[in-house]
Amino acid sequence: MVAGTETPKRGRLKLGKTERANLRLGLLFISPWIVGFVAFLAYPLYYTLRISFTRFSGFGEATWIGFSNYERMLTDDLFWKSLGNTLYYSALAVPIGVVVALVLALAMNQRLREVSTYRGALFLPSVLPLFAVSFIFIALMDPIRGIFNQILGVVGIPAINWFADPRYAKLALVILAQLGAGQVALIFLAGLKGIPLTLYEAAEIDGAGAWTKFWNITLPLMTPIILYDIILGLSLGLQAFTQAYVIGAGPAGSVGNPANSTLFYVLYLYLNAFRYSQMGYAAALGWVLFILTFLLALLVFRWARSWVHYETV
């Protein structure tokens, strides 16, 4: 300890006078962040970890129980159910979201006089409150009073009882999620605008059609932005809560309806923490979510090495 203090001290002395003044000034400006980081992130994260090894109702003393909360997950059917629901939802919502956003971006990129009007129309739904959009979908997809099934009926799809049938409730939430695609589409659009026209002109000289140009120029150059969106979408998908809470709400304050098919991971965490007074178990669920998000992101990054195009133009 004593010997160790020598090195940083010498390192600090190397700083010049202005450097030291700048360090002080810089830290002063970022000091709100330092306080916030410690108080609202680092400490709560550590505190969550500590609670996760205890039995704690939220009041009184916490009892140390070691890894019991983590072991409990292995045999907890609802844990697996909620994890499965969330992974199923993300596995559909994320890739579909990428395709929808890409289609929107390509459409928004058309050279039409009134294109900014369409951009606005496609972007607006993504900034509206999710809880209220969830209300709309309850009314829209209601088998009797809604009109969604009537529209599907025009193309020959039989009526579906969206929010009463466990097979379709998550699918309905995947459809709902697509209303948010406009925001991602704008990010994609900025990417499309960044592709030099000369590349397309060169391809045209070689006789390339629209599809070839899209497949060989547009898509490869868009892959870094697509990867960014997959990572972001995955993280948000695993955290999905509001739409499941609002739409899966049933009589007497029950959630996850029908038949726990909309019991998402964070919803189950919320129930344990704030309804069942299982703060310790909820904390453990939180840390598992953290690790899971991290591992899945890592997995996507590794997988992306085989398809992301990193050459700069």
Q: Please list every residue from 72 through 91 that binds another protein, using CB under 8 A.
A: none
Applying CB under 8 A, which part among 73-81, 166-174, 272-280, 300-308 lies near another protein? Answer: 272-280
125 binds another protein (CB under 8 A): yes
Q: How many CB atoms lie within 10 A of CB 102?
A: 23
Q: Is 70 in the site for another protein (CB under 8 A)?
A: no
Does position 304 interact with another protein (CB under 8 A)? The reply is no
Q: What's the CA gap between 99 and 266, in Å, rounded? A: 26
Which range binds another protein by CB under 8 A, 79-87, 91-99, 102-110, 160-168? Answer: 102-110
Residues 147 to 176 in contact with another protein, rule: CB under 8 A: 147, 150
Stretch binding another protein (CB under 8 A), from 113-121, 166-174, 212-220, 303-311: 113-121
Exactly one of 239, 296, 304, 308 binds another protein (CB under 8 A); that residue is 239
Least distance between another protein and beta carbon 107 (Å): 5
By CB under 8 A, residue 282 contacts another protein = yes
Q: What is the 3-class SS of 157-226, one letter each residue?
A: CCCCCCCCCCCCHHHHHHHHHHHHHHHHHHHHHHHHHCCCHHHHHHHHHCCCCHHHHHHHHHHHHHHHHH
Q: Which two tokens stand for residue 262?
A: 């909309």
**C-beta of 280: minimal distance to another protein in Å?**
9
Judged by CB under 8 A, the chain residues 194 through 233 that form the site for another protein are 194, 224-225, 228
Q: How far apart are CA 17 and CA 258, in angstroms?
A: 67
Q: Tally Cβ neighbours within 10 Å of residue 252.
A: 4
Question: In whole angstroms, what is the distance from residue 111 CA to residue 253 CA?
Answer: 51
